Structure 1
Amino acid sequence: MQRHNFKKLKIWKEGMFLTRETYKMVRNFPDFEKFNLVSQLIRCAVSIPSNIAEGTSKRTDKHFTQYLENSLGSAFEWETQLIIAYSEEHISEEKFKAFELKIQEIQKMISGFIDGLEKS
């Protein structure tokens, strides 16, 4: 397996974008959410590109795939927390829909990358 440069991977770049946008989004959340939903959203967002980056250091596609699956799991967890943030009225419907499209796009990209590794 040839190692990937994580900084060149579109899935990593998209994960980094989501992380930056998550930090912006939670700035306006109520203080009581600081150690709850805010912390969870940030940790999941950070986990997405972090697992991709860490996975690129692995020697086999099988091991890299495990990290991509962790990243994908964090993306689904982040989406659930987004739904909670919307249901608790911490974000507008417009923001919710935009973020929902973005996370689903990232989920598809990570899944497709995994499929590509498994075929090679």
Structure 2
Amino acid sequence: MAFKFEKLIVWQKAMDLNEVIFVITKDFPNEERFNLISQMRRAADSVALNIAEGSTSQSNLEYKRFLNYSIRSIVEVVSALFIARRRGYILEEVFQSTYTQSEEL
């Protein structure tokens, strides 16, 4: 592995969540393409991207800042999951599974 972040379990789990969000949103209605789909995917991308970027930090303070960005993005993903569930785009089982995965991350 060439980059430090590749070894981080938290980054690996963020990549797993990213894939789940991508698959889930494939089944959303087309009218959500520029709204909820885009928002969820960007937030999920941001989780892994900020962990990776923060891993190159020279100080713990800077690294923590990037991890805080990741946490905020996870919260955004979870909030979007609630919206998707309320709109009937995902089943309760999918919501619970992804919620749990997000919480663990």
Scaled by the length of structure 1, the TM-score of the pair is: 0.84
Count of residues in Structure 1 that have an aligned counterpart in Structure 2: 103
1:22 aligns with 2:21: yes
Structure 2 gaps, min length 5? none
SS in 1 for 2:10: helix
Report how far residue 98 of structure 1 moved.
0.5
Structure 1 gaps, min length 5? 107-120
1:100 aligns with 2:99: yes
Report how far residue 57 of structure 1 moved.
1.1
| Residue 64 (structure 1) aligns with | 63
Report how far residue 5 of structure 1 moved.
1.1
| Residue 5 (structure 1) aligns with | 4
| Residue 48 (structure 2) aligns with | 49
- Mapped to 2, the partners of 1:22 and 1:16 lie a distance apart of 10
Report how far residue 58 of structure 1 moved.
1.1
| Residue 76 (structure 1) aligns with | 75
What letter matches 2:36 in structure 1?
L
What letter matches 1:12 in structure 2?
W
- Mapped to 2, the partners of 1:43 and 1:72 lie a distance apart of 14
In the TM superposition, what whole-angstrom CA distance separates every residue of 1:25-72 from its partner, at most 9, and x where no partner exists? 111100000000000000000000100000011110100000000000
- Mapped to 1, the partners of 2:10 and 2:56 lie a distance apart of 16
| Residue 110 (structure 1) aligns with | none
After TM superposition, the runs of 4+ consecutive aligned structure 1 residues lying more than 3 A away are: none
What letter matches 2:101 in structure 1?
K
What letter matches 1:77 in structure 2?
E
What letter matches 1:101 in structure 2?
T
What letter matches 1:82 in structure 2?
L
| Residue 88 (structure 1) aligns with | 87
Scaled by the length of structure 2, the TM-score of the pair is: 0.96
**Superposition pairs of residues 27-46 of structure 1, within 5 angstroms:** 27-46=26-45
